[in-house]
Structure 1
């Protein structure tokens, strides 16, 4: 906004966002550890993964930082005067809140058929189970998982409306140069979950993982999740009011040009981003047909959290400051500088994500054991989670690079192109899921999503190359190839170090596992750093300088 306080540098914004997101993600990791210890891969958490598909879809899609609501609000408000902001915000909030209230009612009423749509494999009959060779105990677990999932879904339905309000508010706060609260806010959801699980543990004690208490555990998961969303919305209101970003007043100015501009970006962007979440639903749709569906989706959830922890920290640090910069360079006369920013976003993504991907692939099994293996979570659960984690890690760079390019289209006020690409990718993802789920199980479903993100990234680069009068793609490919080679070397170095340490020291005991994990990771990072520095890539120097300033206090 033109009358806000002086704009911070990209590095300053990235630092604020990275620290806040790190704190939030660490709490999220502790929350997931608590869930794993309480429920393992049993029906309570398995059902939660199915029930959370639509609420999570809406929370990430509408309420997430870098989501379409957030991006649309930032793109429009960043160009507006302070005095114009409150009416725009109130009009958008009125419109979106009204629509999402109706959506919430629909979710409650149609909970059972919607769950049937999300996870049809949970609705098989006894005759179908017998025909598929599913034993009686597994079939009973499927029925229990279905009943818990429907209950959880109804409890979490109000997150539909809360998600929209959260996304709009956080977009306005970012446009007003406020980054701390939006980045730290997911912490509140983790806190409510930990409080809920703590109360359940005090109430049930060692009986918490028993099958007869799965429904109670599932209800606690759902109510805690809803409470976290309510808290995320409430904490942003005082900051919005203090910054003059509008209040809770109903305003029906839907035909105002500024409101129409937000809707013009928000609509296609929502559908485009929603396509990615539909791919998540597609994966779970096919996962429901895996005989032990609760274990499969639980492993996908645990592995996904391990990937999303570094991915969320790095993505917010990269995308949040770049989006306003892209928006200010959208005019044709600024395209030369816009191309520089695109390169900066892609190569910073490569510098940060490629080595992390390589290390997570090399160290997936000990990482799963160190993070999750306690109480109800067993060695077999760690092995299943690690198999999924390897494939998740493979796609980290492509996921974030795609998001960088999507933000360029948003800045150019073009939400249609990402939407069209995403529509095609829905069908591609479903086709790959169909062919990969039977031979590979849960890892095959994640591999399909990775392939879709690769195709999406390539298509967007090709279209931006045409739109912006040519991108120096060959010039960008050279440092990307160098960073890829450095990352592969770091992964092999970490794996070799792990094998050597296991040979001499063994592989049992949490502290020994943690020591081996840290040692192997440090060796891998060291190898990557030695090679990457020799490449003389500006983005490598920028990242290393930033790390030195942050952790070593060097100028």
Structure 2
């Protein structure tokens, strides 16, 4: 991997790791309080709307369209023009999302009351509506933060944007602790948690602003809807909304179908917890590498240095495969013991662990492809090719919906996770093949070879991990009486031995060249 991308990725990965550790603490507290209850189902559904806007417009489409345009301004136009462009984006975004948020709050506050005149409103529906109204202000806050972060990334500053999500998790944890100690009512507790998310979004914004000013990226507010950069970003963004957001749309469909088609409560919560565990390696490797590499991809393309662009894409994908493939296999093997270690306490019982671990197992098979998809998609966007991911994305969303409706009847919520995994495998493979045709001199041989090496070593690693689990189940309970200590020792032992096997096998494989594919 190019050294500049590697250095940036290390900063982002370290910050993401810190954020995800706090995120795990947050989810452990939430699982202990709410388990897979209808209360937590209501929260997960309510959080979908602001979180979807964050993923699509904040971290996804808007930044994907903004980074190439802003990089072009920085490289080829006066700096003052680049600053006016940023100001125009921020002003228009704030006005648009504030209006949407206000209308959304009005709707979710008054709609249940009006509907109750005609229908009986279930407590779950009422709570979902209330929580959505509370958390909607998080949407404009985090989207503005995303633009500030993207601008800082374009000037090669990664630290402050990378640690912003740590503040969100700290605020979330504080809200959960306050809820635990000051209330015994689950409805009040989940409301405290919702407010803590909005406060976390405000803290993220307060972190970014001083750095943004220090880097001299600020300029007087410009409300110019006719700014050429704003129009270019809008034109680029529309197809990106769909193309880059395929995973988020699929996740939204998963939750809605789980709520409607899976009998009883807990399906949405199990999907959420399984997705959260899957997101840890995905964020550390796929998202971190993609965020770090994207400005460099855009810079090389803007300078028409296709040799550097081609090599940086190949090396970044290979670095991702080197780590993400064993992460997929390891997460699949450790799905149940890891879920039990992290979540099985309080209201989160053995049935909750079983449901969540099966969801995690299905998600695990696609971690490597989801991670690579993040990088490959940004390679297209660096070339300002927004239509290709859009077209592939449309097909994948349709396929995911069809697979959801097929698998949900006999695998329940786990079938929804499996459908997402299948679509991510196809999405990454198709985009990679198309990229070969679109980027001059781009070859897949190096990527194929890395994948074959990684999958072979990972399978041996998985066998070693499974052996550790079987041995510990047979002999460990006699030595370690505490359930927590047993699970902690079991997971750590499997990870350490499995990691050692993987790197040893990879070292042996790399002594010989695989035949060209």
**Do they superpose with TM above 0.5?**
yes
Query: Is 1:100 paired with 2:71?
Result: no
What is the SS of the residue equivalent to 2:355? helix
Task: Return the offset for 1:400.
Answer: 1.0
User: 1: distance between equivalents of 2:140 and 2:85?
Assistant: 19
CA contact (8 A) 1:62 1:163 kept: no
Query: Is 1:185 paired with 2:164?
Result: yes
Q: Residue 15 of structure 1 corresponds to which residue in structure 2?
A: 10
What is the SS of the residue equivalent to 2:157? coil
Query: Is 1:510 paired with 2:484?
Result: yes
CA contact (8 A) 1:51 1:150 kept: yes
CA contact (8 A) 1:479 1:535 kept: no
What is the SS of the residue equivalent to 1:329? helix
Q: Residue 277 of structure 1 corresponds to which residue in structure 2?
A: 248
Task: Return the offset for 1:113.
Answer: 11
Task: Return the offset for 1:488.
Answer: 1.4
CA contact (8 A) 2:160 2:208 kept: yes
Q: Residue 515 of structure 2 corresponds to which residue in structure 1?
A: none
Query: Is 1:422 paired with 2:419?
Result: no
Superimposed CA distance per residue, residues 470-529 of structure 1 (whole angstroms, 9 cap, x where no aligned partner): 532244312211211111111121011110111012286101111111111111111111
Q: Residue 176 of structure 1 corresponds to which residue in structure 2?
A: 155
Counterpart pick for 1:71 among 49, 52, 64: 64
Counterpart pick for 1:194 among 149, 155, 173: 173
CA contact (8 A) 1:73 1:175 kept: no
What is the SS of the residue equivalent to 2:301? coil
The gaps in structure 2 that reach 5 residues or longer are 113-118, 513-517
TM-score, length of structure 1 as denominator length:
0.85
User: 2: distance between equivalents of 1:90 and 1:294?
Assistant: 46
Query: Is 1:312 paired with 2:287?
Result: no
The gaps in structure 1 that reach 5 residues or longer are 1-6, 116-124, 127-141, 539-555
User: 1: distance between equivalents of 2:302 and 2:161?
Assistant: 28
User: 2: distance between equivalents of 1:85 and 1:158?
Assistant: 28
Task: Return the offset for 1:290.
Answer: 4.1
CA contact (8 A) 1:43 1:214 kept: no
Counterpart pick for 1:34 among 29, 33, 45: 29
Query: Is 1:163 paired with 2:146?
Result: no
1:142-291 pair list within 5 angstroms: 143-204=122-183, 208=184, 213-246=185-218, 249-291=220-262
User: 1: distance between equivalents of 2:109 and 2:361?
Assistant: 34
Counterpart pick for 1:339 among 303, 310, 318: 310
User: 2: distance between equivalents of 1:40 and 1:422?
Assistant: 34
User: 2: distance between equivalents of 1:332 and 1:453?
Assistant: 31
Task: Return the offset for 1:465.
Answer: 1.8
What is the SS of the residue equivalent to 1:110? helix
TM-score, length of structure 2 as denominator length:
0.91
CA contact (8 A) 1:276 1:422 kept: no
User: 1: distance between equivalents of 2:457 and 2:109?
Assistant: 50
User: 2: distance between equivalents of 1:112 and 1:449?
Assistant: 33
Deviating more after overlay: 484-493 vs 97-106: 97-106
What is the SS of the residue equivalent to 2:247? helix
Counterpart pick for 2:46 among 46, 51, 76: 51
CA contact (8 A) 1:103 1:160 kept: no
User: 2: distance between equivalents of 1:537 and 1:167?
Assistant: 43
User: 1: distance between equivalents of 2:463 and 2:303?
Assistant: 45
What is the SS of the residue equivalent to 1:375? coil
Counterpart pick for 1:327 among 292, 298, 303: 298
Q: Residue 115 of structure 2 corresponds to which residue in structure 1?
A: none
User: 2: distance between equivalents of 1:108 and 1:173?
Assistant: 31
Counterpart pick for 2:359 among 388, 394, 413: 388
Q: 1:293 to 1:230 in 2, by over 3 A?
A: farther
Superimposed CA distance per residue, residues 247-296 of structure 1 (whole angstroms, 9 cap, x where no aligned partner): 5x431233333333333333322332334322111111110124455411
Q: Residue 369 of structure 1 corresponds to which residue in structure 2?
A: 340
User: 2: distance between equivalents of 1:95 and 1:537?
Assistant: 55
User: 1: distance between equivalents of 2:241 and 2:438?
Assistant: 22
CA contact (8 A) 1:95 1:254 kept: yes
What is the SS of the residue equivalent to 1:348? helix
Q: 1:288 to 1:161 in 2, by over 3 A?
A: same
Q: 1:260 to 1:310 in 2, by over 3 A?
A: same
CA contact (8 A) 2:13 2:284 kept: yes
Query: Is 1:297 paired with 2:290?
Result: no
* Number of matched pairs: 498
User: 2: distance between equivalents of 1:202 and 1:391?
Assistant: 36
User: 1: distance between equivalents of 2:130 and 2:111?
Assistant: 12
Q: 1:96 to 1:22 in 2, by over 3 A?
A: same
